[in-house]
A and B are shown apart, each in its own frame.
Chain A
């Protein structure tokens, strides 16, 4: 039986005490190594889904880009530009034609005013004819038998006065009708023009801006391909980081197992030392050495695990964030982000603009038809007036005949018929006046006729051409609008799906990562064990200072290592103990690696 000094007894008690600390610490480490796997597997199973959904989002973004870029949209843009030019050209011509028509109508108005004087002349003629009729009747009555022939003459003159009155009244009525028609038409045309000018100007401006936006979108979408590729590569990098960090669980587990093995070996020695009465001082040194080394190994392993989980969480969130960036970017490049609060895209706005222009074109066509109808009506009325004037001309000829007849009869009557001669002279003057007035009216009517006939012929020609042109433009616009509508609908459908997918991906990533606390729990467990180990190291060094044979004492542990990091930690501590320069573990790990074609961790034999 061996004798123990009081100091030896104290040391032995201390060793028992440390063993009692280490044994539960080993239990904690076993728990730590075992509890992390399920959570890593859970994240790993989500990764597959996140990756696939992320790839789907990228594919949808590319699909969206292809909808609003490429040759089809370029051709559409180019054709739209041509259409815009054609519309502008048409509207300019329509405006010119409208102005010409209005100017002509104003000319007609002025010319119609000139009819007033001859029409008054006709009324005067009518009065004179009636007076002459009465005078002729009186004179023939006075002459008795001699003037009997003048009675018929008087009746003819009276009849003519009625006819002149009737025809001039008809001309007056037609003139009035024409004036009203022209005034109304001018008023409508001017009002429509003002409205159209305002509308067309704004619509063309907006549509031009939207066309420019479509061109810009087309260019941006082409450029977006590069951005999407970069983001996609970044997402791949993030996934790669996650895959890499996910393996840290297995590596940490192995490191923990090595720490456990070392501590188990120590507890076994601590138990044996008491039974074998091993030198307690030596055991204290060894306990300090082992605990110091395992403290370093555990600290490193816990840190690696913590960093790996943080990397996993950060990169998964980064994947979701990148996809949100893609969604936001795609909304910007396709012009949807800049749309009004109503959510209408530039395509929709443009479609509305095009519809407005179509409406304006239709209104122009209608105005053209109205103007043409007015011109026809003017021409028709002028023709009718001309017919009346011809009638009046005929009346003038009749008056002339009557004048000649009355002159002959007056001469035959002799001196007693002198008064009738005077009347015959008056009738003759009236005939001349009728010719003069009808010439004046005829001249005016010829002027009106010339102007309206020219415009009518021109109008009919152009109406046919422009009518066909409008129908063609409307048909093509309809086609373009349909194409744009389909494009817009497809874009919105994909965008809606894209946003929904990004939203659910972000939500799911957030949900998955928010619940990840394995690193916190592992760190807490590690902190508890580290505190125990540090306490043991401190106490052991107080009893027996660290030996310079530290490395030698722990040499047997080196063969258990499988990882470079473990060997380096061991090396760092050994250098520290032997008074050599302390080198950072990370730098040792990096400097020892050989580069190869596939990376510094790959060797192909």
Chain B
């Protein structure tokens, strides 16, 4: 059965590229347009992993991670930040919030898949 991965990003073109990469590699994809949309969906749908942007309207990536970790359904899933942000302080915030990893955009498809395989075991 295919693993389900959620991608949360306010950029439609980035979601499109993430979804393209994941689907080509046999994953099912759930898309969310921002942190709040993602959290709403994650409250009712079980996924295997979350890829999230940092800067998003309504709720940013750090807020989303905190919300997921505070919930129950997807509390322990791996969460990888996928963002243009490369600031170490921000990375530290992400790690502290419960992020599993941090990928600075732009990503290469093979790189993203390698990280996913690693964190999904």
Interface string of A549-592 (1 = CB under 8 A from B): 00000000000001110000000000000000000000000000
CA A216 to CA B21, docked complex, whole Å:
39
Any B CB within 8 A of the CB of A595: no
Contacts of A110 in B (CB 8 A): none
Known pairs A44-B13, A44-B20, A603-B101; A247 contacts B110 (CB<8 A) = no
Cβ contact within 8 Å between A601 and B84: no
Which residues of chain A in 587-605 are interfacial with respect to chain B, using CB atoms and an 8 Å cutoff?
Answer: 598-599, 601-605
Is the CB of B107 closer than 8 A to any CB of chain A?
Answer: yes
Q: A605 contacts B102, CB within 8 Å? A: yes
- Assuming the contacts A599-B108, A604-B100, asked whether A45 and B16 have C-beta atoms less than 8 A apart, the reply is yes
Residues B11-37 near A (CB distance < 8 A)? 11-14, 16-17, 20-21, 23-24
Residue of A nearest to B100 (CB): A605
Question: How far apart are the CA atoms of A443 and B24 in the complex, in Å?
Answer: 95
CB contacts (< 8 Å) of B21 on chain A: these are 243
Q: What 0/1 readout, one digit per residue, does chain A (385-427) give for beta carbons within 8 Å of chain B?
A: 0000000000000000000000000000000000000000000
Q: In the complex, are the beta carbons of B13 and A40 less than 8 A apart?
A: yes
A603 touches B91 (CB 8 A): yes
Known: A40-B13, A41-B16, A250-B11. A564 touches B109 (CB 8 A): no
Closest beta carbon of chain B to A332's beta carbon, Å? 30
Question: In the complex, are the beta carbons of B84 and A51 less than 8 A apart?
Answer: no
CB of A134, distance to nearest CB on chain B (Å): 120
- In the bound complex, do residue A599 and residue B111 qualify as a contact, i.e. CB atoms below 8 Å apart? yes
Would you give the shortest CB distance from A121 to chain B, in whole angstroms? 104
Q: Are A253 and B11 in contact (CB under 8 A)?
A: yes
A44–B105 CB distance below 8 A: no
Q: How far apart sit A563 and B90, CA to CA, in the bound complex (Å)?
A: 12
In contact, A247 and B118 (Cβ under 8 angstroms): no
Q: Are A250 and B105 in contact (CB under 8 A)?
A: yes
Interchain CB contact under 8 A, B108 and A243: yes
* Residue of chain A at shortest CB distance from B92: A605
Q: Is the CB of B16 within 8 A of A44?
A: yes
Prevailing SS type, chain A contact patch: helix
Contact check: which of A244, A563, A604 meets B101 at CB < 8 Å? A604
Task: Tell me whether A602 and B111 are in contact (CB under 8 A).
Answer: yes
Distance of A605 Cα from B78 Cα, bound (Å): 11
Instruction: Tell whether B95 is near chain A: CB-to-CB under 8 Å.
Output: yes
Q: Are B85 and A37 in contact (CB under 8 A)?
A: no
Let me know if A251 is at the binding interface, CB within 8 A: yes
Report yes or no: B106 in contact with A51, Cβ–Cβ below 8 A.
no
Min C-beta distance of B109 to chain A, whole Å: 5
Q: Please name all residues of chain B whose beta carbon is closer than 8 Å to the beta carbon of A562 when the two chains form the complex.
A: 54-55, 83-85, 87
What residues of B have a CB within 8 angstroms of the CB of A239 in the complex? 109
Q: Smallest CB–CB gap between B23 and chain A, Å?
A: 8
Whether A598 lies near B111 (C-beta < 8 A) is yes
- Which chain B residues border A249 with CB–CB below 8 Å? 11, 13
For residue B95, which residue of chain A has the nearest CB? A605
The contact of B106 among A44, A247, A603, by CB within 8 Å, is A247
> In the complex the two chains form, is B17's CB within 8 Å of A248's CB?
no
- Say whether B118 contacts A604, CB under 8 Å: yes
Nearest-CB residue, chain A, relative to B10: A250
Partner of A601, one of B24, B103, B110: B103
Q: Which of A249-297 contact B (CB under 8 A)?
A: 249-251, 253-254
Q: Which residues of B contact A248 (CB under 8 A)?
A: 106
Q: Separation in Å of the B77 CB from the closest CB of chain A?
A: 14
Contacts of A219-253 to chain B: CB distance below 8 A: 236, 239-240, 243-251, 253
In the assembled complex, which residues on chain B have CB atoms less than 8 Å from the CB atom of A250? Answer: 9, 11, 13-14, 84, 105
B13 touching A602 by the CB < 8 A rule?
no
Contact A604 B119 (CB under 8 A): yes
* Chain A CB within 10 Å, residue with most, of B11, B87, B110: B11
Q: A563-B86, A603-B102, A604-B118 are in contact. Are A247 and B13 (CB under 8 A)?
A: yes
The yes or no answer to A48 lying at the interface (CB within 8 A) is yes
A601 and B109 contacting across the interface, CB-CB below 8 Å:
no
In the complex, the answer to whether A605 meets B99 with C-beta atoms within 8 Å is yes
A251-B105, A603-B102, A605-B99 known; A243 vs B17 contact (CB < 8 Å): yes
Contact with B along A150-170 (1 / 0, CB 8 A): 000000000000000000000
CB closest chain-A residue, reference B106: A247
**Pairwise interchain contact B85-A563, C-beta atoms closer than 8 A:** yes
| Complex contacts, A45 vs chain B, CB 8 Å | 16
Name the A residues within 8 Å of B108 (CB-CB): 240, 243-244, 599
Q: Within 8 Å CB of B55, what residues of A?
A: 254, 562
Residues of A within 8 A of B13 (CB): 37, 40-41, 44, 246-247, 249-250
How many Å from the CB of B78 to the closest CB on chain A? 9
The yes or no answer to A146 lying at the interface (CB within 8 A) is no
B115: interface (CB < 8 Å): yes
Instruction: Please indicate the chain B residues that have their CB under 8 angstroms from the CB of A563 in the complex.
Output: 84-86
Report the minimum CB–CB distance from B16 to chain A (whole Å). 4
B104 at the interface (CB under 8 A from A): yes
Give B54-90 interface residues, CB cut-off 8 Å to A. 54-55, 83-87
B120 interface residue per 8 A CB criterion: no
* B105 x A240 contact (CB < 8 A): no
Q: How far is the CB of B101 from chain A (nearest CB, A)?
A: 4
Inter-chain contact A247/B107, CB cutoff 8 Å: yes
Q: Does A484 contact B (CB under 8 A)?
A: no
A48 to chain B, nearest CB (A): 6
Binary CB contact string for chain B from 44 to 58 against chain A (1 if under 8 A, 0 otherwise)? 000000000011000
Q: How far is it, in angstroms, between the C-alpha of A95 and the C-alpha of B100 when the chains are bound?
A: 84
Chain A residue nearest in CB terms to B86:
A564
> A603 — which chain B residues lie within 8 A by C-beta?
91, 101-103
Inter-chain contact A243/B20, CB cutoff 8 Å? yes
A323 to chain B minimum Cβ distance, whole angstroms, is 17
A48 and B20 in contact, given A41-B12, A247-B107, A602-B101 (Cβ under 8 angstroms) = yes
Pairs A–B under 8 Å by Cβ, sample size 24: A41-B13, A44-B17, A45-B16, A47-B20, A51-B24, A240-B108, A240-B110, A243-B21, A246-B13, A247-B13, A247-B14, A247-B105, A249-B13, A250-B9, A250-B11, A562-B83, A562-B84, A563-B86, A564-B86, A564-B104, A599-B108, A601-B86, A601-B103, A604-B100
Known: A247-B106, A564-B86, A605-B102. 11 other contacts (CB 8 A): A243-B21, A244-B107, A244-B109, A247-B17, A250-B13, A250-B105, A253-B11, A254-B84, A599-B111, A601-B86, A604-B101
Q: Residues of B with Cβ closer than 8 Å to A? A: 9, 11-14, 16-17, 20-21, 23-24, 54-55, 83-87, 91, 95, 99-111, 114-115, 118-119
Closest 3 CB pairs of A and B: A601-B104, A250-B11, A247-B106
